[in-house]
Amino acid sequence: MSTARFVDQTGNPAPSIDLWPALIVSKEEIAAEVQRLAAVPAPPNGRRSALIVHPRAQPPGLGLAPGIRVSVDVLLPGERTQPIRHNSTQVVFCIAGSGYAVVSGKRIAFAPYDVWNTPSMSTYWHVNDGDALQVRLTYSNAALLETMNVHIVDDHPPESGAPAIEECSDDTTRHNPFGTFQLTDDGAFLMPYEQLINPSVVESKPLHWPWARVKAHLDELEGLGKSYVGRRLYLLFNPATGRTNGTTQSFFATMTIRPPRIVDRPHRHTSAAINYFFSGSGRSVVEGRTYEWKAGDLMLSAPGWGVHNHASHDEPVYELTIQDSPLNIAMESLLWQEDLKRPPAVLGAQAGFETNRKPHRRS
């Protein structure tokens, strides 16, 4: 029988944050692992995959950041994976080859630098119908769910993938007659069980952001000039995430262009950031240490609350950035300090930051 223990914290100061150090996984390291995966016999489930794990990570949550799992996934020409589903969500990024994914019955044909999402409990599989090796980077919140001991994986789901949803009953004996109602003048409410276990449904769909179409809009941001104080990027926005500004409910994915010799202002945020640079080269300064990177490198570029900034060298840089900002907004924990001379804000609960560019809506 397990017995709880008491840990006396009387008068103790709050522990300091022990940041995981930034690190770069080089293009050459990734290429070597891709070739190793390509050379092993195809497993029964078809999934040739390896986790990219930070040296500080400990089981069960093996992530490149504490809440972000990253894997490199490989398919040879003519291969496919078997269907699978799980309650973790994913952002998937093709870095080589081509093929298609089937997610909740939707066929997504992809090419290099395309991005798509996999919603929770959506049955999916991948196919390489091209002539070249297919390589994907997959970012998921599985590391966090495994740490919570609630990562549920179904290795043999029906290919339709959509779990059955019970119809709401009109039987009045199954419903609380009082509903949700206000308790106090300052806005505290009471909600009955029937509504607690049946929250409003927001449909979560698989979406696809083709690089060829994203790049056309991204390149327009180069014309903002050196006087622009923001970052030249677009969020790959999933409307299902609403106010948390996400690609999934846990992560945002942004595509960034850095014109030559552009230096960002130092800033920090409690969300972790992982960058994949697929064109150009540059440097990042994280907690006072300088890291040089090039196209094909993957970088944990912002451990939570670490001061950092990035700079491009003599050619444009394109990069995909994954951050767990939506999760932190939902938890009311996303501290963001855009200017180190000014106080941080709790994004989503307080007013955020402005750039020197006027808001613009496309017609």
What would the pLDDT profile of 342-360 be if each residue is shown by its tens digit?
A: 999 999 999 887 776 666 6
Q: Which of 154, 175, 198 is the last residue of a domain?
A: 154
Residue 139 lies in a domain: yes
Output the CA torsion 210→213→217→222 (10° steps). 80
Q: Which of 154, 189, 220 is the last residue of a domain?
A: 154
Q: Which of 131, 154, 177 is the last residue of a domain?
A: 154
pTM: 0.93
What's the average model confidence in pLDDT over 93-105?
A: 98
What CA–CA distances, in Å, run from 308 to 111, 203, 213, 264, 290? 32, 36, 30, 9, 10
User: Which tens digit of pLDDT belongs to each residue from 231-284?
Assistant: 899 999 999 999 999 999 999 999 999 999 999 999 999 999 999 999 999 999
Give residue 113's domain range. Answer: 23-154
Question: In this model, does residue 18 exceed pLDDT 90?
Answer: yes
Round the average pLDDT of the chain to a whole number and report it: 93
Asked if residue 227 and residue 108 are part of one domain, the reply reads no
Q: Which two tokens stand for residue 56?
A: 């500080």
Residue 318 lies in a domain: yes
How far apart are alpha carbons 225 and 221 in whole angstroms?
8
CA 73 to chain centre: 16
Q: 249: exposed, middle or buried (C-beta count within 10 Å: 0-12, 13-18, 19+)?
A: buried
Could you give the 3-state DSSP secondary structure of residue 98? Answer: coil
Percent of the chain beyond pLDDT 90? 85
CATH code, domain with 88 = 2.60.120.10
Asked if residue 237 and residue 144 are part of one domain, the reply reads no
Residue 11 lies in a domain: no
Nearest-Å Rg of the Cα atoms of the chain is 22
User: Which tens digit of pLDDT belongs to each residue from 117-150?
Assistant: 999 999 999 999 999 999 999 999 999 999 999 9
Residue 314 lies in a domain: yes
Asked if residue 337 and residue 230 are part of one domain, the reply reads yes
Residue 202 lies in a domain: no
Residue 148 lies in a domain: yes
Question: In this model, does residue 6 exceed pLDDT 80?
Answer: yes
Residue 163 lies in a domain: no
Asked if residue 216 and residue 314 are part of one domain, the reply reads yes
Residue 362 lies in a domain: no
How many domains would you assign to the chain?
Answer: 2
What's the average model confidence in pLDDT over 171-175?
A: 59
Compare 236 and 363 and report the one with higher pLDDT.
236
